């Protein structure tokens, strides 16, 4: 199943986006109810994280939308600041759990995991896609524009990491430790080699999915928040 | 490791792979292949495939002939084939003794052992070869497809079309190409492979050679990596760009140096120059290799280094501004008919020796060395590489460095095999002699 979390507002606070990315969730940020409807996945949203810090009105209105109709979202996590605590009164039906903002990433992750568990979902998907590119984690296959990619194991793992962490810049050392995770003959330059190989296999049209960030490292896809 | 095996097994299933080729290399650099079906794959991955090692050049003697080929799941790759053909994959293998433990005659193991030595010192070793080769109309005669020259853009010629097909197939197999162009000789081509760690590159060179031959064959022509197929024309080399990295940092670079070279790089170059005589038997392993290493065809002959002098044995290419990680040296002796695992091993060993011993780098050669007289060269301390396979073998036989790098098994076998080749050559009456002598003497 394609699991996607709804995130409000658009763009979300940088720390929220980063926390979700690093813990492997796929998500889509929306500015209002109309956009949420328009982008609703075929299986519905897996859950929602609604941030009430800046725009409480909009946030609660979003929560109400998520509780209505056929596409009711069961797992809604609300982010509120300490000063907004009194706003929660009489709105108990609009959310399933809340987290004080500014939040601690570990706490947010734990609450999210708990919510997903109660709803009987993993929250982390079996498929990931970015544009024309689709990865099936169960079968280890990657497809671009409907055409299968012939990847080696490490190329597949690197691409998987990129696709599940779009928009974020990683240094070579970070990629090496998170994707390879063990001592390798190639050292940090191995990453360059594999990126070049992946680009070759993605083909000219898609090679720029993986961008070189000068004197830093690599980024997959578009930036979602300012660096 | 388990996930890698699962990846391979799952991909074979999902992609309908019909055959898996298990590749390994004999001591002379020839690629060997055992083909298995998916049904046998799981066992092969876990236990290895048994084969008779006594049939492989430079492997075991008869009495201990059973060996195991253990596929390296990291190298699993689908081979590009035509639409509708059976899907075929390949994996490189490590060779193990039946009783257990790596087999010291396996060139891949020799290279791994040398890379491990570099890693103990904190270095990772990168190679980027420039492979030259010829397309000929057949494999019996030397008949070029065209008469174009260096960088020449030839219209609608078969050679360019073949090169294009070749580059596309290589890229599809994850072997990225930096440049490809028509070389100096008629029907000669060069393909520069994007640098990788030495083990991956040795695997890549093996893959490259077989794919080149296949592309040629599919088009009814013959590709050859023979070092000097035509007298009077350029030979085929495999200039190899070398660099050492310490983690993310290029150990060859020093921004404060006039050449941009670190002390490490200078010692490494000195190591290559000092031990060049001993290692060329490996990087240039055929009788024919020494017909390329002659003056006049941009092949190196003299042991010296320079930045922009293409007759030097070691060249230091100028990295583009701001691209310090591209600092590297280019060793110009090897030819594409070498065993890449062994060739990379001895180049690394010579360079590391230079670093360990702190060899001093002689001054850069500035003139065209070929234009100097012997006396002038001697005055500058520049001497020539061995002029024949026999001279090279003599130098290698005396070399502790090469013996240590290759291990006793490969060292002994190689010398023995090559001495026989030389003796066959020495007793052969060549067309040169018939043409010159038969009528006149």
pLDDT classification of A8: cutoffs 50, 70, 90: very high
pLDDT classification of A226: cutoffs 50, 70, 90: very low
pLDDT classification of B426: cutoffs 50, 70, 90: very high
Which of these three, B103, B123, B151, is where a domain ends? B103
Looking at the structure, do residues B89 and B119 belong to the same domain, yes or no? no
Looking at the structure, do residues B87 and B120 belong to the same domain, yes or no? no
Q: Which of A166, A175, A160 has the alpha carbon at shortest distance from A222? A: A166
Query: Is the pLDDT assigned to residue B403 strictly greater than 80?
Result: yes
Task: Decide which of B23 and A204 is more confident.
Answer: B23
CA A93 to chain CA centroid, Å, is 26
Q: How far apart are CA B78 and CA B15, in angstroms?
A: 9
Averaged over B45-55, what is the pLDDT?
Answer: 87
pLDDT of residue B200: 92
pLDDT classification of A174: cutoffs 50, 70, 90: confident
The percentage of residues in chain A with a pLDDT greater than 90, rounded to a whole number, is: 26
Q: Which of B284, B295, B166 has the alpha carbon at shortest distance from B226? A: B284
* Lowest mean pLDDT segment, chosen from A67-71, A191-195, B404-408: A67-71
> What residue ranges define each of the domains in chain A, with the CATH number in brackets?
5-118 (3.40.50.2300), 154-220 (1.10.10.10)
Query: Is the pLDDT assigned to residue B180 strictly greater than 90?
Result: no
Averaged over B347-368, what is the pLDDT?
Answer: 93
Looking at the structure, do residues B279 and B391 belong to the same domain, yes or no? yes
Domain that holds residue B409: 112-432
Task: Find, in chain B, the residue whose alpha carbon is nearest to that of A173.
Answer: B248
Looking at the structure, do residues B406 and B425 belong to the same domain, yes or no? yes
Looking at the structure, do residues B118 and B83 belong to the same domain, yes or no? no
pLDDT of residue B377: 83
Which of these three, B39, B74, B103, is where a domain ends? B103
Give how far B338 is from chain A: nearest CA, Å. 22
Whichever domain contains B50, its CATH number is 3.10.20.70
Looking at the structure, do residues B167 and B21 belong to the same domain, yes or no? no
Whichever domain contains B313, its CATH number is 3.30.590.10
- Please state, in angstroms and as integers, the Cα–Cα distance from residue A120 to each residue in A46, A93, A116, B294, following that order: 10, 20, 6, 75
Token output for B358: 């702190």
Enter the ipTM: 0.72
* Residue among B6, B8, B248 minimizing CB distance to A173: B248
pLDDT of residue A1: 47
Token output for A114: 């708990």
The percentage of residues in chain B with a pLDDT greater than 90, rounded to a whole number, is: 62
pLDDT of residue A227: 37
Q: How far apart are CA B301 and CA B311, in angstroms?
A: 7
Looking at the structure, do residues B229 and B308 belong to the same domain, yes or no? yes
| Position B441 in a domain | no
Contact B197 A141 (CB under 8 A): no
Token output for B384: 């020539």
Please say whether the dihedral angle defined by the alpha carbons of residues B113, B117, B119 and B124, taken in this order, is positive or negative: negative
pLDDT classification of B270: cutoffs 50, 70, 90: very high
Task: Decide which of A120 and B409 is more confident.
Answer: B409
Averaged over B77-87, what is the pLDDT?
Answer: 79
Q: How far apart are CA B126 and CA B194, in angstroms?
A: 10
Averaged over A205-209, what is the pLDDT?
Answer: 88
A91 touches chain B (CB under 8 A): no
| Position B439 in a domain | no
Looking at the structure, do residues B426 and B307 belong to the same domain, yes or no? yes
The answer to whether the predicted template modeling score (pTM) of the entire model surpasses 0.90 is no
Looking at the structure, do residues B88 and B134 belong to the same domain, yes or no? no
pLDDT of residue B137: 87
pLDDT classification of B147: cutoffs 50, 70, 90: low
CA B293 to chain CA centroid, Å, is 16
CB A29 within 8 A of CB A8: yes
Contact A153 B7 (CB under 8 A): yes
Query: Is the pLDDT assigned to residue B321 strictly greater than 90?
Result: no
What does pLDDT average to over chain B?
A: 90
pLDDT classification of B152: cutoffs 50, 70, 90: low
pLDDT classification of B27: cutoffs 50, 70, 90: very high
pLDDT classification of B64: cutoffs 50, 70, 90: low
* Best mean pLDDT range from A214-223, B219-228, B316-325: B219-228
| Position B194 in a domain | yes
Query: Is the pLDDT assigned to residue B17 strictly greater than 60?
Result: yes
CA B340 to chain CA centroid, Å, is 3
Which of these three, B69, B103, B137, is where a domain ends? B103
Q: Which residues of A touch B176 (CB under 8 A)?
A: 196-197, 199-200
A197 touches chain B (CB under 8 A): yes
Q: Beginning with the edge strand found earlier in the chain, give each strand of the sheet holding A210-213 in spatial order.
A: A169-171, A217-220, A210-213
Looking at the structure, do residues B149 and B281 belong to the same domain, yes or no? yes
Query: Is the pLDDT assigned to residue B280 strictly greater than 80?
Result: yes
Looking at the structure, do residues B89 and B228 belong to the same domain, yes or no? no
Averaged over B181-207, what is the pLDDT?
Answer: 88
* pLDDT tens digits, one per residue of A115-154: 888 887 766 667 788 888 999 887 888 999 888 898 988 8
pLDDT classification of A205: cutoffs 50, 70, 90: confident
Contact B74 A153 (CB under 8 A): yes
| Position B402 in a domain | yes
Looking at the structure, do residues B119 and B199 belong to the same domain, yes or no? yes
What does pLDDT average to over chain A?
A: 84
Contact A201 B174 (CB under 8 A): yes
Query: Is the pLDDT assigned to residue B199 strictly greater than 90?
Result: yes
CB B8 within 8 A of CB B76: yes
Contact A141 B11 (CB under 8 A): yes
Domain count for chain B, please give it. 2
């Amino acid at each position: 199943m394609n699991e996607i979390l709804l995130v409000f507002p658009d763009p979300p606070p940088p720390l929220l986006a980063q926390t979700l990315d690093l813990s492997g969730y796929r998500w889509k940020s929306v500015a209002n109810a109309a956009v949420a409807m328009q982008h609703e996945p075929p299986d519905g949203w897996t859950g929602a994280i609604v941030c009430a810090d800046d725009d409480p009105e909009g946030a609660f209105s979003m929560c109400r939308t998520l509780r209505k109709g056929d596409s009711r979202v069961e797992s809604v996590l609300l982010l509120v600041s300490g000063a907004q605590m009194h706003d929660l009164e009489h709105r108990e039906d609009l959310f399933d759990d809340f987290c004080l903002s500014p939040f601690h990433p570990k706490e947010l992750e734990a609450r999210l995991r708990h919510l997903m568990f109660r709803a009987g979902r993993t929250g982390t998907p079996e498929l990931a896609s970015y544009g024309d590119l689709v990865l099936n984690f169960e079968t280890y296959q990657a497809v671009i524009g409907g055409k299968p990619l012939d990847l080696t194991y490490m190329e597949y793992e690197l691409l998987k990491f990129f696709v599940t962490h779009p928009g974020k810049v990683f240094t070579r050392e970070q990629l090496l430790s998170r994707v390879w995770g063990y001592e390798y003959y190639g050292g940090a330059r191995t990453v360059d080699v594999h990126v070049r190989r992946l680009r070759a296999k993605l083909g000219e049209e898609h090679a720029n999915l993986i961008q070189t960030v000068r004197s830093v490292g690599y980024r997959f896809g578009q930036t979602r928040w300012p660096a | 490791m388990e996930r890698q095996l699962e990846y391979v097994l799952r991909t074979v299933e999902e992609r309908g792979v019909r055959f898996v080729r298990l590749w390994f290399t004999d001591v002379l650099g020839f690629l060997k292949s055992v083909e298995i079906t998916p049904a046998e794959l799981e066992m092969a991955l876990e236990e290895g495939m048994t084969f008779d090692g006594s049939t492989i050049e430079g492997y075991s003697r008869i009495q201990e002939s059973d060996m195991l080929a253990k596929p390296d799941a990291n190298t699993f790759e689908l081979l590009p084939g035509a639409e509708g053909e059976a899907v075929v994959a390949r994996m490189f293998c490590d060779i193990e003794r039946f009783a257990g433990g790596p087999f010291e005659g396996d060139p891949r193991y020799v290279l791994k052992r040398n890379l491990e030595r570099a890693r103990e010192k904190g270095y990772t070793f990168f190679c980027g070869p420039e492979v030259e080769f010829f397309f000929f109309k057949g494999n019996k005669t030397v008949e070029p497809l065209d008469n174009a020259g260096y960088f020449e853009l030839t219209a609608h010629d078969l050679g360019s079309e073949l090169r294009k097909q070749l580059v596309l197939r290589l890229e599809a197999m994850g072997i990225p190409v930096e440049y490809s162009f028509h070389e100096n000789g008629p029907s000669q081509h060069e393909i520069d492979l994007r640098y990788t760690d030495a083990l991956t590159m040795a695997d890549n060179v093996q893959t490259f050679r077989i794919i080149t031959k296949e592309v040629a064959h599919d088009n009814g022509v013959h590709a050859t990596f023979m070092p000097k197929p035509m007298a009077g024309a350029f030979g085929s080399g495999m200039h190899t760009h070398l660099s050492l990295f310490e983690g993310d940092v290029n150990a060859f670079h020093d921004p404060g140096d006039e050449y941009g070279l670190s002390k490490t790089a200078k010692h490494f170059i000195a190591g290559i120059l000092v031990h060049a005589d001993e290692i060329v038997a490996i990087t240039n392993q055929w009788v024919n290799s020494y017909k390329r290493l002659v003056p006049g065809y941009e092949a190196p002959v003299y042991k010296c280094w320079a930045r922009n002098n293409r007759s030097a044995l070691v060249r230091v290419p100028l990295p583009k501004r701001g691209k310090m990680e591209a600092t590297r040296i280019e060793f110009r002796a090897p030819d594409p008919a070498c065993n890449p695992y062994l060739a990379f091993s001895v180049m690394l060993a010579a360079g590391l020796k230079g670093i360990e011993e702190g060899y001093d780098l002689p001054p850069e050669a500035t003139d065209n060395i070929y234009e100097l007289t012997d006396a002038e060269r001697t005055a500058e301390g520049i001497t020539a590489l061995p002029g024949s396979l026999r001279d090279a073998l003599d130098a290698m036989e005396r070399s502790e460095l090469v013996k240590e790098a290759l291990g006793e098994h490969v060292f002994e076998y190689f010398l023995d095999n090559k001495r026989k080749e030389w003796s066959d050559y020495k007793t052969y009456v060549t067309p040169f002699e018939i043409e010159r002598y038969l009528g006149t003497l």
